[in-house]
């Protein structure tokens, strides 16, 4: 980890890295998905999902601390160079898929709510060029954008939770715990895509100063993200009926139309435009992780790997044209996340730690 020392950042910045990577476009419309199984109890499912993510991150930390590096180092130490590189490549591809999904979802929101005639290629090229410029500046620049994004998130959601009281129906959420624990778990499973982003820890860990003792900031970051997701779901259920939630794709944008200030109209336009900094922050973290991983595996310059994945992102975005295709791609991303980060990574981490402990003895 000595080679990373110059680029390392303070541990507290991990809080902003985690929150910036987790809170993205998913929070604008996940309420419809989680309500399918647990109804108005789905906000409880979000809390359950948050605890699960906390546990996964705790296991990740144990593994990364033992490896004294990132996931690529851990894989190579356990499986050897070839198999370890192949397994690491799968995770890097996931980062790329998640980045494409986030980018295309945001472009779709802009096209539906603001500029129906704007081309996908134009918006994707502008955003990717901005991300390329940021990532080219190095990890510290990427973290700086994440920090600004984190501060902005707190201010934005303070405005977004300014709810019109006349539309609030407290009886919507009653009775509480009206669904079985199985329904709550199924609902929690559907929040996987919204919770995605914490996986970035597998690549950024060596760049955090005193990484072994920085876990509390990661856990606080996840707790804050879970709080935002829970409040978002809870307040949505207070305002919309189950029938409305089932038909509204982006519930938070629909609610934003109800928010009025004396000095501001069409708050949803402000929300969508402001979300750009969130999207750029998420994409910068994902593209940095993916391009750096490819650099470590193939020994290429990161500049070239960054260009490669940016071009791939641009091309795939053009192929996803309809709502059905975008939704299918998002579901595919969610399933990959489930298998890799909620099943494989915990199992690998446990076996890796057992092996390392055996060697020490």
User: What spatial distance separates the first Cα and last Cα of the chain, rounded to whole Å?
Assistant: 24
Question: Is pLDDT of 64 > 90?
Answer: yes
Domain ranges of the chain: 2-351
CB 145 within 8 A of CB 284: yes
CB 94 within 8 A of CB 343: no
- Match 């295309």 to its residue by tokens: 104
CB 92 within 8 A of CB 247: no
pLDDT tens, position by position, 88-107? 999 999 999 999 999 999 99
Percent of the chain with pLDDT over 70: 94
Which H or E run contains 93? helix 81-113
Q: Please name the residues in contact with 177: beta carbons below 8 A apart, sequence gap of 6 or more.
A: 41, 44
Query: How much is the pLDDT for 63?
Result: 94
Distances (CA, A) of 264 to 152, 160, 254, 269, 346: 18, 13, 16, 10, 47
* Homologous superfamily of domain range 2-351: Amino acid/polyamine transporter I (1.20.1740.10)
Question: Is pLDDT of 177 > 90?
Answer: no
pLDDT tens, position by position, 257-308? 877 777 777 778 888 888 898 999 999 999 999 999 999 999 999 999 999 9
E-only strand ranges, the chain: none
**What predicted TM-score, i.e. pTM, was given to this entire model?**
0.92
């Amino acid at each position: 980890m000595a080679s990373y020392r110059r680029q390392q950042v303070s541990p507290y910045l991990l809080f902003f890295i985690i929150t910036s990577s987790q809170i993205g476009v998913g929070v604008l419309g996940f309420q419809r998905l989680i309500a399918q199984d647990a109804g108005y109890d789905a906000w409880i499912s979000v809390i359950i999902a948050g605890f699960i993510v906390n546990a996964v991150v705790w296991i990740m930390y144990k593994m990364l601390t033992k490896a004294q590096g990132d996931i690529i180092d851990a894989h190579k130490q356990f499986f050897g160079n070839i198999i370890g590189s192949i397994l690491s490549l799968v995770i890097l591809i996931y980062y790329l898929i998640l980045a494409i999904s986030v980018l295309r979802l945001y472009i779709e929101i802009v096209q539906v709510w603001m500029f129906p005639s704007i081309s996908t290629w134009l918006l994707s090229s502008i955003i990717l060029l901005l991300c390329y410029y940021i990532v080219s500046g190095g990890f510290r620049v990427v973290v700086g954008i994440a920090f600004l994004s984190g501060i902005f998130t707190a201010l934005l959601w303070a405005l977004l939770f300014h709810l019109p009281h006349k539309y609030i129906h407290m009886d919507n959420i009653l009775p509480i715990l009206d669904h079985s624990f199985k329904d709550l778990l199924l609902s929690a499973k559907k929040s996987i895509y919204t919770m995605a982003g914490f996986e970035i820890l597998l690549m950024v860990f060596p760049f955090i100063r005193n990484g072994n003792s920085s876990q509390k900031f990661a856990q606080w970051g996840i707790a804050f993200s879970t709080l935002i997701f829970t409040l978002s779901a809870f307040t949505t259920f207070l305002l919309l009926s189950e029938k409305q939630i089932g038909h509204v794709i982006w519930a938070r944008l629909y609610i934003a139309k109800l928010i009025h200030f004396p000095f501001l109209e069409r708050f949803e336009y402000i929300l969508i435009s402001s979300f750009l900094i969130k999207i750029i922050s998420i994409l910068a973290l994902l593209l940095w992780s993916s391009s750096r991983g490819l650099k470590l595996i193939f020994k290429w310059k990161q500049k070239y790997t960054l260009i490669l994945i940016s071009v791939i992102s641009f091309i795939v975005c053009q192929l996803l044209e309809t709502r059905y295709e975008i939704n299918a791609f998002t579901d595919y991303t969610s399933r990959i996340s489930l298998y890799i980060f909620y099943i494989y990574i915990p199992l690998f981490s446990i076996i890796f730690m057992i092996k390392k402990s055996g060697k020490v003895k």
